[in-house]
Chains A and B, each alone.
Chain A
Amino acid sequence: MKNHSILQARNITISFGGLRALDRVDFDVRPRETVGLIGPNGSGKTTFFNVISGIYKPDEGEVWFEGENVVRRKPHEITKRGMARTFQNSRLFWQLSILDNVIIGMHTQQKGTLFDVIFRYDQTKQELRRCAEKAREILSYFSQELCDKCSGLVVDLPQGDRRRVEICRALASNPELLLLDEPSAGMSPEETDKLMEDIGKVKEKYKDISLIIIEHDMVVIEEIAQKVIVFNYGKKIAEGTFSEISKNEEVLEAYLGEES
């Protein structure tokens, strides 16, 4: 069931204990599309990300990614197929350097078995060097300063830079679909502006990439999302352009009405 969609989720249902976190959710993403996913806290947005990236298996439903049913696959297999993500609380490799974090993002593209590493180390070394170069390239595309101090530990970075490194790490695997989970969380207005610039840069450099962005900041969503999907209590309650959903009564009642 390809249907010109890069991602197709149908009837996704998952419960934790007695709580229904997702209830018969359908979701489509087309190539080169940027989808905004919004909804109140606890409406199932991150859970949805966890289902499509393979961390959770849904109780019901199917997920097609690039035309293949991936609902039973493990996260690392799904990443190999071209999906990358960031996390709500940046899950970086804290005891490693910035450069190492991005290099690990390229894991799926590194060849080299145990045998190669031990007995054909020259090859391994070359490959690693190439990866380091590519990693620096990705970092410098977003921030030359970050690239210059790439031997530092990520744990020493401020919030904005941490997000940036996480995005670079996700991009390092050359994904077709990038999931961003509340990238602007904990950011000041200036940092959020920089973030929007960065996302713009992502779309510029990776022209074929599709994005799903979970966000609470409506400014970000309005600016970059071509399509917006709204969740509430695990159900999809609206889908459309930003202006369409911002006039939708159910959405206003559930979400936008509570902010101002």
Chain B
Amino acid sequence: MKRLTKRFSAPEEEREHVKDRLGSILFLFLIETAFFGLILLFLVVEGIIPVFSVILGTILLSYLIKRFESVNDFLQSLFNCHKRVAILWGMIFLLALPILLHKSPYLIHILFLAGLYAALAIGLDFQVGSTHLVNFATAADYGIGAYTAALLSVKFGWSFWVVLPLGGVAAALFGFLLGLPTMKTKTYYLSLVTIAVGLVIYLLLNNFAWTGGPNGVSGIPFPRIGSFSFGSSLLIFGIELPFQANFYYLILILVIIEFVVAQRLYHSKIGLAWNAIRDDEIAAECQGIDVTGSKIMAFYTNAFFDGLAGAVYAFNVSFISPENFTFMLSVIVVTMVIVGGMGNTAGVIFGAIIMTLIPEKLQVLQTYRLWVFGLIILLMLLVRPKGLFPQKIRQYT
């Protein structure tokens, strides 16, 4: 627990210090609130020109901040000094978001989607970011998690809360099997294997009768807590929130848990081993790292999180089919990791969010999605291969 005041020789000094501290905290509040306002503005604004203006304005702002070192450093140190307060305020904002947007169920829904993609991106970062294993089978893990949860629920009536972890486990098992070829294949060939396996899973889902074939699984019920169904609206502080808010909070919790787990993995021998394998596989092996075992671990930890996200997705849309789990989805998640920042958990969350929200706001892009995503990957790899937020150096106090 941080001391709120230091010991000072004179009471006036102490008062000054407290005033300074309060002053800087207040300033932090203002800046953060302005930032949240920008986010709200972006969410609420309609029409191509306003949306583009907000995007360009934000890019310009970030560029200016980066350009002027002193501003950049000041903001950094402000955040670092009052980390806990900043995070708390951010959490309050995230919790309050559905309340602020309670008149727009659609916006809450796309925030939910952004959360799903963030969950997928955090997992994929273990492989693409930390270990440089470019895995194009995210859709397969996601689909296996979704189908497992959906089928167990529809065919056996099991509760969401039971099938959720089972979806994760099923996907993890698949991820483990997918990782086995890593013993023999490297980099590009490994990616090809994952592309192939992703397609195989899609074909299997499409052709098995027990998965419903191309008709998929329908009639997936909403999750329940006691008598409360996730399909009903939520009453908070007298305000009625649309049912999408329930899923928003669910995915928010999942993303936070995933974030914590990802950070722990990063600051551990596992994260270090993954980075070592990325930088020099032979040298990593000679430090005593079981390279194959570590790579396989990256596969199944990623897959587990993808499976959980898949289960949540299935119970949100009530109907899933193989068309929801195509190669395109895997490409999108890989793009999010590349754009957000390889090896940086907060970065990939940011990448996932902007790459979900911007296409939703700019509907005109939908027809050219593959085009645009391909272009983005190309640009990022040429201009800023490490992503918008590159990996941070680990600090040990």
Which A residues lie at the B interface, using CB under 8 A? Answer: 53, 55, 74-76, 79-80, 84-85, 87, 91-97, 99-100, 103-105, 107-108, 110, 112, 114, 117-118, 121, 124-125, 128-129, 132, 151, 153, 169, 173
Nearest residue (CB) in A for B397 is A129
Contact with A along B244-273 (1 / 0, CB 8 A): 000000000000000001001101111011
Contact B268 A128 (CB under 8 A): yes
Q: Given the interface contacts A53-B286, A75-B286, A105-B287, does A117 sit within 8 Å of B394 by beta carbon?
A: no
**What are 16 A-B residue pairs whose CB atoms fall within 8 Å in the complex?**
A55-B285, A76-B286, A76-B287, A76-B288, A76-B289, A80-B288, A95-B278, A96-B275, A96-B279, A100-B393, A104-B273, A107-B269, A110-B269, A112-B270, A125-B267, A169-B287
Which of B269, B275, B290 is the one whose CB lies under 8 Å from A128? B269
B288 adjacent to A103 (CB under 8 Å): no
Any A CB within 8 A of the CB of B291: yes
Closest A residue to B301 by CB, please name it.
Answer: A114
Identify which of A87, A96, A108, A153 gathers the most chain B CB atoms within 10 Å of its CB.
A96
A125: B residues at CB distance < 8 A: 267
A91-B282, A99-B394, A105-B287 are known; give 19 further A-B pairs, CB within 8 A.
A76-B291, A91-B283, A93-B276, A93-B280, A93-B284, A95-B279, A100-B394, A107-B269, A107-B273, A107-B289, A112-B269, A114-B270, A117-B268, A117-B269, A117-B270, A118-B264, A128-B268, A129-B397, A151-B395
Q: B279: which of A80, A85, A94 is its contact (CB, 8 Å)?
A: A94
Residue B391 lies at the interface, judged by CB distance under 8 Å to chain A: yes
At the interface, yes or no: B396 with Cβ under 8 Å from chain A?
Answer: yes
Does the CB pair A104–B287 fall under 8 Å?
A: yes
Q: B311 an interface residue at 8 Å Cβ cutoff?
A: no
Q: Which residue of A lies closest to B265 (CB)?
A: A117
B contact residues around A91 at 8 Å (CB): 280, 282-283
Q: How far is the CA of A118 from the CA of B297 in the complex (A)?
A: 13
- The listed residue (B267, B280, B284, B286) touching A84 by CB distance below 8 A is B286
Evaluate contact between B279 and A124: CB separation under 8 angstroms: no
Majority secondary structure, B binding face: helix
A-B pairs with the 7 shortest C-beta distances?
Answer: A108-B288, A91-B283, A132-B396, A93-B279, A79-B288, A75-B285, A117-B268
In Å, the complex CA distance between A74 and B292 comes to 11
Bound form: Cα–Cα A76–B393 in Å:
25
A151 to B284, CA, bound (A): 20
Chain B residues whose CB sits within 8 angstroms of the CB of A99 once the complex forms:
394, 396
Contact of A114 with B297 in the complex, beta carbons under 8 Å: yes
Q: What is the number of contacts between chain A and chain B, taking CB atoms within 8 Å? A: 108
Q: Name B275's closest neighbour in chain A (CB-CB).
A: A96
Query: Chain B contact residues (Cβ within 8 angstroms of A): what range?
Result: 20 to 34
Query: Contact: B267 with A128, CB < 8 Å?
Result: yes
A88 to B322, CA, bound (A): 51
| A180 to B: closest C-beta gap in Å | 13
Q: Is the CB of A92 within 8 A of B268?
A: no
List residues of chain A with CB within 8 A of the CB of B272: 96, 100, 103-104, 107
The residue that A92 contacts in the complex, of B270, B283, B288, B393, with Cβ under 8 A, is B283
Bound complex: CA of A5 vs CA of B395, how far in Å? 42
Query: Closest CB of chain B to A107's CB: distance in Å?
Result: 5
Chain B residues positioned under 8 Å from A74 (CB to CB):
285, 290
The answer, among B267, B273, B288, B393, for a CB contact under 8 Å with A173, is: B288
Contacts known (A87-B283, A93-B283, A114-B270); A104 close to B290, Cβ less than 8 A = no
Please give the distance in Å from B116's CB to the nearest CB on chain A.
22
Q: How far is the CA of A173 from the CA of B284 in the complex (A)?
A: 13
Residues of A within 8 A of B278 (CB): 95
Chain B residues with Cβ below 8 Å from A129 are 396-397
Q: Which residue of B lies closest to A129 (CB)?
A: B396
Whole-angstrom distance between the alpha carbons of A103 and B287 in the complex?
10
State in angstroms the CA–CA spacing of A108 and B290 once bound together. 10
Provide the bound-state CA to CA distance between A53 and B269, in Å.
22
Q: Which residues of A lie under 8 Å from residue B396 when comparing CB positions?
A: 99, 128-129, 132
Q: Nearest Cβ in chain A — how far from B279, in angstroms?
A: 4
Q: Are A151 and B393 in contact (CB under 8 A)?
A: yes
Closest to A90 in B: B283
Asked if residues B288 and A107 are in contact (CB atoms below 8 Å), the reply is yes
Nearest to A173 among chain B residues (CB) is B288
Chain A residues with Cβ below 8 Å from B268 are: 112, 117, 121, 124, 128
Contact across chains for B275 and A93 when beta carbons are under 8 A apart: yes
Q: Which residues of B contact A96 (CB under 8 A)?
A: 272, 275-276, 279, 393-394
Closest residue of chain A to B272 (Cβ to Cβ) is A104
Q: Are A124 and B283 in contact (CB under 8 A)?
A: no
Taking the nearest CB of chain B, how far is it from the CB of A151, in angstroms? Answer: 6
Shortest CB distance A22–B (Å): 19
Taking CB as reference atom, which chain A residue is nearest B283?
A91
- Most B CB contacts (10 A, CB to CB) among A84, A110, A169 go to A110
CA distance A53 to B285 in the complex (A): 10
Verify B279–A79 contact, CB threshold 8 A. no
Nearest residue in A to B281 (C-beta to C-beta)? A91
Contact with B287, one of A55, A79, A128, A153 (Cβ below 8 angstroms): A79
